[in-house]
Structure 1
Amino acid sequence: MPDVDEVLAEFEKHLRFERDLSPHTVRAYLSDLAALMAHRGGELGGLDIAVLRGWLAEQHAAGLSRATLARRTACVRTFTAFAHRRGWLADDPGLLLGSAKAARALPAVLDQEQAQAVLDAPQGSEPKELRDQAIMELLYATGVRVGELCALDVDDVDRDRHVVRVLGKGRKERSVPFGLPALRAVDRWCVHGRPRWIREGTGPALFLGARGGRIDAGTVRRIVHARLRQVDGAPDMGPHGLRHSAATHLLEGGADLRSVQEMLGHASLNTTQIYTHVSIERLRAAYRQAHPRA
């Protein structure tokens, strides 16, 4: 029977190279498995459905969120199937484990007037200002994830067709349309800003940091938070908030759910449907505020 370090190392290889999961998910699953192994004293023997349910019950009693419990359940099911195939477990107890459902809170979104105020705020002509404006425009125009934005290369932007080629979760490629304001902002950055930050070894990255390297997600989050603080009444949110806002505004404007699903890169339509609930809740709020007999 392998020791804990070997188990974690082999499971990491499985997640990265066979399942092709994102680095963030791999780190989370390894942390979850390490917690389970610690609970078991490093022993795989005797790992059955009663043990798994007991461990998850302890996690619940300790106050872990439903989202964390749902992820740990998914991790356990992935691991026990993997361990059974490796011959480490005689059977797969994860098959008997129910799927925990994470609570789905409605995301905070900008209203359309707030989005316009954020994007139309006066900006300067320095490279940082040009880059930040292009990032804000492209995030809102396309609804791409922050990691997808950071991974964009210059050649991923098709200026003639007004689409950007995005490599999403599971290395699935999709083309996402964008409008003229985003195109103009990206062109201003590429012509007047990006060349001033290029260094030896910069590479093809579309968005750069001040030292010439590819921009990172933390920097993009700081940009979004800072820009939203400039607009009175705008909720404090990160890049994912702009993604939520883009999807909500598309549906409010009459886009069909399947098109929004494709644009966002959701594997399941159920994930996209949350934005219909956001639109309904906004309608209810407006009704309660405006109707005399609400």
Structure 2
Amino acid sequence: MSDLEPLAPAEAVNHYLNHREPELSEKSVENHRYRLNSFVEWCQKHGLDNLNDLTGRDLHQFRTWRRREGISAVTLRGQLATVRVFLEFCADIDAVEPGMRERVRLPEVDPEEEARDVKLEEEHANDILNHLHRFEYASREHVIMAILWHTGIRLGSLRAFDLEDFDPDEQCLDLNHRPESETPLKNGKSAERSIAVGESYCSVIQDYIDVNRYDVTDGHGRNPLITSRQGRLSGTAIRLAVYQTTRPCEYGPCPHDRDPAECEAVQETAHASRCPSGRSPHGVRRGSITRHLRDGTPEEIVSDRMNVSGDILDQHYDRRTEREKMELRRQFIKDS
């Protein structure tokens, strides 16, 4: 066995993220932290406070615990892949035995299963937006959900908007790539575009600005559209807000027969993602794109509006059945 130096799991994660930060986008760093938090939590639950003691059996038990949490095979594979990279880093700094990463077995996922990731269903989205409009009108949560569902944009795109990017007269939002001030777009300059916004959604955004937006600047002197008391709202905070808002118990009865008083997804804010019906910002994006396609919006329009290629659109977002596609084609093809 190699000579190892004691290191706590949480401290190791911080070292790893600091190491990766120069090469990863802010969103990717947040994703890695989110995926590794469950590993740190498992270590704490099982009294593993020194990574030197980590074994292959521990990793198997962690994998089993995550699977029993009810996450999909696709999500589990992504989390375990991040743990593998993390353990490789830990081996480099003498925190775990060399080769520990190979002891993390990744579940097999076929391409079709990978493409069928969870999404926010249209009925679910309508219930959420109706509830927000009635009880939390123009709140920060309302404007987050309204923009994400209506536009189908990515979390990073929502976070990138400045106050000046909203044009109520032209009813649009201008999306700009500003990596020098920490709001890059996933596809760079090519992702820059103006996004049309419906009148009712414009009203929600304007009322949020007038009543509930914190009048603050970010660390670069810019005026964020979506704010916290400290400045631009972080991606982690946006993700948590979406998970909290999409829990069914926020606007109706729990469909999983859980007692809200005992449900950790309700009682512990950080665990909102553990609600089986809760959705991530990407799940909202997926549902929005699917809804546009089912409504008959041409694929090239969806591709431009949501900044997604046709191939990716077909593989990962188009969840219409063949009959649904046929009925939409029927509307455009008249009997000869």
- Where on the TM-score scale, by shorter chain, does this alignment land: which range? 0.5 to 0.7
SS across alignment from 1:273: helix
1:142 Cα deviation (Å)? 1.8
Match of 1:206 in 2: 225
> Given the alignment of the two structures, is residue 194 of structure 1 paired with residue 209 of structure 2, yes or no?
yes
Match of 1:13 in 2: 18
Count of paired positions: 266
Match of 1:2 in 2: 5
Match of 1:181 in 2: 198
Distance of 1:7 and 1:139 partners within structure 2: 34
Distance of 2:244 and 2:51 partners within structure 1: 43
Match of 1:109 in 2: 121
Match of 1:82 in 2: 89
1:199 Cα deviation (Å)? 6.0
Distance of 1:163 and 1:194 partners within structure 2: 14
SS across alignment from 1:22: helix
From 216, 235, 251, give the equivalent of 2:293: 251
The superposition leaves residues 110-135 of structure 1 with CA deviations (integer Å, 9 ceiling, x where unpaired) of 16xx97898799x79xx944977755
- Opposite residue 175 of structure 1, the aligned amino acid is E
Match of 1:165 in 2: 175
Q: Normalising to structure 1: TM-score of the pair?
A: 0.59
Match of 2:60 in 1: 57
SS across alignment from 1:205: coil
Distance of 2:204 and 2:31 partners within structure 1: 33
SS across alignment from 2:174: strand
Is 1:258–1:269's contact at 8 Å kept on the other side of the alignment?
Answer: no
SS across alignment from 2:192: strand
Equivalent pairs: percent with the same residue? Answer: 17
Gaps of 5+ in 1: 231-235, 287-294
Match of 2:306 in 1: 263
From 307, 313, 324, give the equivalent of 1:283: 324
The alpha-carbon distance between structure 1 residues 93 and 261, as it changes in their structure 2 partners (threshold 3 A), is: farther
Match of 2:50 in 1: 42
Distance of 1:244 and 1:196 partners within structure 2: 30
1:269 Cα deviation (Å)? 5.5
Distance of 1:12 and 1:282 partners within structure 2: 46
Is 1:59–1:69's contact at 8 Å kept on the other side of the alignment?
Answer: no
> Given the alignment of the two structures, is residue 140 of structure 1 paired with residue 149 of structure 2, yes or no?
yes
Cα RMSD over matched residues?
5.3
The alpha-carbon distance between structure 1 residues 93 and 221, as it changes in their structure 2 partners (threshold 3 A), is: closer
> Given the alignment of the two structures, is residue 22 of structure 1 paired with residue 29 of structure 2, yes or no?
yes
Match of 2:39 in 1: 32
The alpha-carbon distance between structure 1 residues 59 and 91, as it changes in their structure 2 partners (threshold 3 A), is: closer
Distance of 1:40 and 1:133 partners within structure 2: 41
Q: Normalising to structure 2: TM-score of the pair?
A: 0.54
1:279 Cα deviation (Å)? 0.9
Distance of 2:126 and 2:38 partners within structure 1: 41
Deviates further, 155-164 or 24-33: 155-164
1:248 Cα deviation (Å)? 0.6
> Given the alignment of the two structures, is residue 94 of structure 1 paired with residue 137 of structure 2, yes or no?
no
Gaps of 5+ in 2: 253-276, 328-336
